Amino acid sequence: FAMQLISGLNETTARDRLIAGRLLQYLQGDSLALRTLAIYEMERLTGGRQNYFPNSDASRRRDAVNRWQKAIDRNGGTLLP
């Protein structure tokens, strides 16, 4: 999946619930590189970042991930409606 992030997601994959779940996992993960790739693609596709910054402390990232989760929930479990 990391290679898919590097090459870029498209609107079809952005409407996949499994992809949204994986991206949220990456935002919460230990790897700065994966967090950065995930938020880059999420922002590119949605136009927003929910105030998520991959190098923020864990508490701030957790709050931003909660905002992302709510946005994804509003879209029926996907990045894009």
Q: What tokens appear for 21 in the block?
A: 């779940």
Cα–Cα dist 70/48, whole Å: 13
Amino acid at 28: Q
| pLDDT given for residue 41 in this prediction | 96
Tens of pLDDT, residue by residue, the chain (81 residues): 888 889 999 999 999 999 999 999 999 999 999 999 999 999 999 999 999 999 999 999 999 999 999 999 999 999 999
Q: How is residue 54 annotated by DSSP?
A: T
Terminal-to-terminal C-alpha distance of the chain: 22
Cα–Cα dist 68/20, whole Å: 10
**CA atoms within 13 A of residue 56's CA, in its CB half-sphere:** 16
| pLDDT given for residue 23 in this prediction | 97
